[in-house]
A = this chain, B = another copy of it.
Amino acid sequence: MPHAHKDQDTPELLLENQLCFAVYSAAHAFTAAYKPLLDQIGVTYPQYLVLLVLWEADGSSVGEIGGKLNLDSGTLTPLLKRLETQGFISRNRDKNDERVVRVSLTSLGRDARIHAVAARRAIVCSLEKTEPEIHKLKALVTELDDRLRTSAPNR
């Protein structure tokens, strides 16, 4: 009978079989692909995500931005300070509730949007997929995301 090498033979832990690593690696690949395009605008990839939120909902609070991007104030506060320093946004306390900070686009921040459209198109092009294919894949990945977030901790 074959000697079992401990249990080393299981294909379960082979790197090439890990969906988690595929997603991890693709996320970094997206960041790297966007980098030269975002460099021209002058923002990092996470900063770009914040701008995406603001282009849809200018004047969002830090908490609202964090809710959409799954980021907390520990990440967002310094990131927003950098976006403010570079002139893309302004941060102001809400007059009706001094706890919340509202984030507003400056004209520079609004103008960056047109360049972002071009960047997005360049990336989509490099994927060599149709918009429906991309949308379908996006839905599959979002389903993953939802199940991972609803399963274990919730907090």
Binding site for B on A (CB under 8 A): 6-8, 10, 12-15, 17-34, 36, 49, 52-53, 55-56, 68-70, 110, 113-114, 116-117, 120-121, 123, 126-128, 134-135, 137-138, 140-142, 144-145, 147-149, 151-153
The answer to whether A18 touches B138 (Cβ under 8 A) is: yes
Contact B120 A52 (CB under 8 A): no
What are the 9 A-B residue pairs with the smallest beta carbon separation, nearest first? A126-B151, A27-B27, A29-B148, A26-B145, A22-B141, A20-B30, A19-B138, A33-B148, A22-B138
Bound CA–CA A128/B150 (angstroms): 12
> Known: A36-B152, A152-B36. Is A126-B140 also a contact (CB below 8 A)?
no
- Shortest C-beta distance, A107 to chain B (Å), equals 12
CB–CB B147/A127 < 8 A: yes
Contact A68 B15, beta carbon cutoff 8 Å = yes
**Known interface pairs A19-B134, A26-B145, A27-B27; 13 further A-B residue pairs with C-beta atoms within 8 A, sorted by A's residue number:** A13-B116, A14-B52, A18-B120, A19-B138, A24-B31, A25-B145, A26-B27, A26-B141, A29-B70, A32-B148, A123-B148, A127-B147, A127-B148
Q: Do B13 and A113 touch across chains, with their CB atoms under 8 A apart?
A: yes
CB nearest neighbor in B for A30: B20
Q: Which residues of B contact A52 (CB under 8 A)?
A: 13-15, 18, 21
Selected from B15, B30, B135, B147, the residue in CB contact (under 8 A) with A24 is B30
Give every chain B residue within 8 A of A116 (Cβ-Cβ). Answer: 13
A151-B24 contact given A12-B120, A55-B13, CB 8 Å threshold: no
